[in-house]
Chain A
Amino acid sequence: MVDTKTAFEKAPAPRGFSVARLLRANRKLLFPLAAFLLILLGNWLISPNFFNVRLVEGRLLGSLVDIFNRGAPTVLLAIGMTLVIATKGIDLSVGAVIAICGAVAAVLISETELSPVVVIIISLGAGLLCGLWNGVLVAVFDIQPFIATLILMVVGRGIAQLITEGQIAVFNNPTLEFIGKGVVLGLPFPILLSAFVFILVLVFVRRTAIGLLIESVGSNDRASYYAGIDARAIKLLVYVISGLCAAVAGLIITADIKGADANNAGLWLELDAVLAVVIGGTLLSGGRFYLGLSVIGALIIQSIQTGIFVSGLPPTFNLIVQALVILAILFLQSDDFRRPFARLFQRLRRHS
């Protein structure tokens, strides 16, 4: 630690402002942001009034607002998933956790006299328990993360079905509905909620040592253990955070449709979340993570879906387009894919 500090002090102070240096320093940021803007631009070409935002009855309306609003659950999942992937893990159960937490909230609010706040807390507690279960399997039993979370992915929807007794549990409660449909300062509540969770998690991991510890465990958990980091506790923590994020996403989805559909709530959202994180530049092999870029990744996915929607293509193309995007990004991240191109580029430079 002492060495890095002195090295830091020895580094020459930056002189003046340079766009080139700024870009070089934030190279990681560039790609996802450019992709996001490009897709938004593409959407604008397809439908010219894409960027129009109107104020109707104290509520902002428009495709752009819609992307942030519809994207809120994916953003929330991506936040939790980023931390999990940073520890070299993966959480495939988030879709099932959404179904469980949604079912818990819907059934409790419609069949008991509990106040909505208590119901929300219990639902979050269910998400926490799910995360804890995954965390224990990964951290304590040392099971490969995708297998460990696969168990809850299989069982979770069954549990949600048992909670709703196979029905689509519907409810009528203004407080709970507010989470999905509410408007604060003209903005839909899900946007504010996801922004709040994002800032909360960002402060939690970046203003404390937690973020560094997570990256350390992800790069090399054994070395981290020898360096005195409780790798188990860190892994447990990230799965719990992921479970909680999924619970919040579940509440939004449930409140939005005023009901819990154990079969379809959050179906395939785990894949969107993984995709968002990968687009954001966090590697599946763990280590460095970029929370903000994962959020942009989630918004990219949502804007692709919105783009498909406004272009008039049937929404059935969603899956194919998403699969092709994920493959393209994985290819770009793969050294073995880039190497021939890099060699070609070098040869061209040498010749010229």
Chain B
Amino acid sequence: MRSRIFPLIVTFVVFVALYLIGFQRFPAFGTTRVIANFLTDKSFLGIAAVGMTFVIISGGIDLSVGSVIAFTGVLCALLIGELGMHPLAAFGIALVIGAAFGAAMGAVIHYFKIPAFIVTLAGMFLARGGAFVLSQESIPIEHPFFAQISDIYYVFPDRGRLTVIAVLFLIVLLVGILLAHYTRFGRNVYGLGGNSTAALLLGVPVGRTTIMVYMLSSLLATLAGVVYTLYTRSGYPRATIGLELDAIAAVVIGGTLLTGGVGYIAGTFIGVMIQGVIQTYINFDGTLNSWWTKIAIGMLLFFFIALQKFLTNYRGNFGLSRKRAVAPAGD
């Protein structure tokens, strides 16, 4: 049991170390302004990453989230700008479409036994293509609702602002943790990722769980799109290209096993915050190319995958005796 938490501890130590490095170089790291900005700037990534955590724990992957965010943004911008809808109505429509999209991907994965990454790759094409068909360029959104939302925030003593979207991120995080650890659905997801055959034999509704997992992921990606729209006040079809990779990186850095069955939503939160720290450091530094963020995240991703490999190979799969531990590789 302890070895299962070990990657999470490593993640936390890495986060603290990076934060302290930043704090030592730029004392502003200690202010709530910077910390609150972590939450705001990374809110859409964090919301999408929570959904991704469920998918990866279930033993799958969802490559479509970045495109779903862009599609949501363009759709909302059009519904609000062209059709004169109230933003809340537009968001509602987008969320319904997003959930249906995810459910469809889950159904294809389950019923036709096509690998998840190829189905969600097609989903990524579809959503991105849909965004391009709706609009080729960035559509600004001008609606009083957006100004109202950005005027609501909680001010910390040293003028850090806890925005609505940051609070939304924290709520999603909390609901995610409850869903994963205190509901039947959550247990089914862990069971499915641990060993889908055993889960089926134990009476886990494999089909329904698979469909719900992808539905949840797309729903959260759409919500991330809504947040992104609130954040940028525009819809842009080329937005968030490659965000799925950042989300996967956050999940893996957060200690979730890529083979499924093991992982924590809380770990994903730390994974997202690590990316926030790295990005803020590079922004503060000013001389470093912003692409160093990607490189640093890639290196961390590599480090944590290597760590996972080491632990699975030498500690018998995080203390779990699973099929792979008995008959390794090549089955």
> Measuring CB to CB, which residues of chain A are less than 8 angstroms from any residue of chain B?
90, 137, 141-144, 146-148, 150-155, 157-159, 161-162, 165-166, 220-223, 225, 231, 267, 271, 274, 278, 284, 314, 316-324, 326-327, 330-331, 334-337
Contacts and interface: CB of A to CB of B under 8 A. Distances in A.
Contact of A143 (B61, B128, B132, B305): B305
B130 interface: yes
26 contacts: A141-B306, A141-B309, A146-B61, A146-B117, A147-B252, A150-B301, A151-B305, A154-B242, A154-B298, A155-B298, A158-B295, A158-B298, A161-B291, A166-B291, A222-B331, A231-B330, A274-B121, A318-B129, A320-B133, A322-B129, A323-B122, A324-B126, A326-B118, A334-B114, A335-B113, A337-B111
Given A144-B259, A225-B330, 11 more contacts: A141-B309, A142-B309, A142-B313, A146-B61, A150-B301, A154-B245, A154-B294, A319-B128, A320-B126, A326-B121, A331-B112
A157 B290 CA distance: 12
Contact of A154 (B125, B297, B309): B297
B296 to A, nearest CB: 9
A147 B258 contact: yes
Interface string B277-301: 0000000000001011111011101
A158 B252 CA distance: 20
B130 A220 contact: no
Contact of A326 (B125, B249, B295): B125
B302 A334 contact: no
B129 A336 contact: no
A316 B136 contact: yes
Contacts of B111: 336-337
B30 interface: no
B289 A162 contact: yes
A316 to B, nearest CB: 4
Contacts of A316: 129, 132-133, 136
A148 B301 CA distance: 10
B115 interface: yes
Contacts of A144: 258-259
Contact of B125 (A319, A334, A336): A319
A330 B112 contact: yes
B330 to A, nearest CB: 3
Contact of B329 (A142, A166, A271, A314): A142
The B contact surface, by secondary structure, is: helix
Nearest to A224: B330
Contacts of B302: 137, 151
B248 interface: yes
Contacts of A322: 125, 129
Contacts of A284: 115, 118
Contacts of B249: 154
A230 B70 CA distance: 45
B196 to A, nearest CB: 15
B330 A323 contact: no
B309 A161 contact: no
A166 B289 contact: yes
A166 B241 CA distance: 17
Given A147-B258, A271-B125, A223 B132 contact: no
A35 to B, nearest CB: 17
Size bracket of the B interface: 35 or more
Q: Per DSSP, are chain A's interface residues mostly helix, strand or loop, or mixed?
A: helix
- 8 nearest CB pairs, A to B: A319-B129, A222-B330, A155-B298, A323-B125, A320-B129, A158-B294, A316-B132, A158-B291
Nearest to A321: B129
B113 A336 contact: yes
Interface in B31-69: 61
B1 to A, nearest CB: 25
A208 B299 CA distance: 38
Nearest to A159: B295
Given A222-B329, A336-B111, A158 B129 contact: no
Contact of A320 (B61, B114, B130): B130
Given A222-B329, A336-B112, A336-B113, A154 B301 contact: yes
A179 B330 CA distance: 41
Interface in B202-261: 241-242, 245-246, 248-249, 252, 258-259
A154 to B, nearest CB: 4
B273 interface: no
Contacts of B301: 150-151, 154
Contacts of A318: 129
A170 to B, nearest CB: 19
A334 B113 contact: yes
A166 B291 CA distance: 9
A162 B129 contact: no
A20 to B, nearest CB: 31
B245 A153 contact: yes
Nearest to B310: A141
Contacts of A320: 125-126, 129-130, 133
A18 to B, nearest CB: 36
B329 A147 contact: no
Contacts of B117: 90, 146
B129 A323 contact: yes
Q: Residue among B114, B122, B293, B309 with the most chain A CB within 10 A?
A: B122
Contact of A155 (B113, B119, B129, B299): B299
Contacts of B313: 142
Contacts of B132: 316, 319
Nearest to A221: B330
A223 B129 CA distance: 42
B126 A158 contact: no
Q: Which one of A274, A278, A322, A327 has the greatest number of beta carbons of chain B within 10 Å? A: A327
A189 to B, nearest CB: 30
Interface in B296-331: 297-299, 301-302, 305-306, 309, 313, 329-331
Contacts of A137: 302
